[in-house]
Homo-oligomer: A and B are copies of this chain.
Amino acid sequence: MLKKCKEKVFRANLQLVENKLVLYTWGNVSERDRESGLVVIKPSGVSYAEMTADDMVVVDLDGNVVEGQLRPSSDTPTHLEIYKAYPEICGVTHTHSTFATSWAQAGRDIPFYGTTHADYFYGDIPCARALMRQEVEGEYEKNTGLVILERFQKDGLKPMEVPGVLVKSHGVFAFGKDAAESVHNATVMEEIAKMAFLTESVNPEVSRADRAMMDKHFLRKHGANAYYGQAKK
């Protein structure tokens, strides 16, 4: 069942290790199969070195396990809230990558400081608020998804223009049109977070880059008139 999708999710999870975004089992990637609407996700607490594509778990949008011998990632309800709110998202990556998580722990949005950022994120990378006690003690992982949605809705953000978010005191969630793209965006977030830290160290008075630069770089790569890369066939 969903053999190809499992293979993609499996490979995307291994990519986390190759891109040095995770220690031990500190991350997980999922993908929504567009046809069936089901979600394939990494099993909980299984090491990347030992797991196989067949270990990937299939769940429906309510979190019921449809196929798989293992428990799905404990963060599954967070992924599902994101999928339910945004049909265009079909890949979600969660990490505790070093620099981006440090911004999350610091509780700050990552400011737009340059074109590296604007090539992927159309504006600051938001940091969602910390969960309140009752949200933590209730359906914690589901509520983590809800504070992400709250932030996107409050600021009118579009997840394909801002394909990633921090959660205060926690870590990183990145989005994509599939599992691989969400890992790509999580990798970029880590690099942007590192550069933003260094930028402020080198110049504590730095201000955001110009809006015109942001429009130019995001749109030359992602807009209707994009001219970066090769023409799509």
Contacts and interface: CB of A to CB of B under 8 A. Distances in A.
Interface of A: 23-26, 43-46, 70-71, 74, 96, 98-99, 101-108, 113-116, 119, 130-133, 136-137, 140, 169-171, 184, 187-188, 191, 194-203, 206, 209-210, 212-213, 215-216, 220, 227-231
Contact of A74 (B202, B203, B227): B227
A21 to B, nearest CB: 12
A98 B194 contact: yes
Given A44-B229, A106-B206, A212-B136, A101 B74 contact: no
A229 B42 CA distance: 11
A71 B107 CA distance: 42
Q: Which of A102, A184, A230 has the most CB of B within 10 A?
A: A102
Identical copies of this chain, number: 4
Contacts of A132: 212
Contact of A213 (B96, B169, B228): B169
A227 B200 CA distance: 40
Nearest to A203: B106
Contacts of A184: 24
A43 B210 contact: no
B209 A105 contact: yes
Given A98-B198, A170-B115, A107 B206 contact: yes
B199 A114 contact: no
Given A169-B115, A209-B169, A228 B44 contact: yes
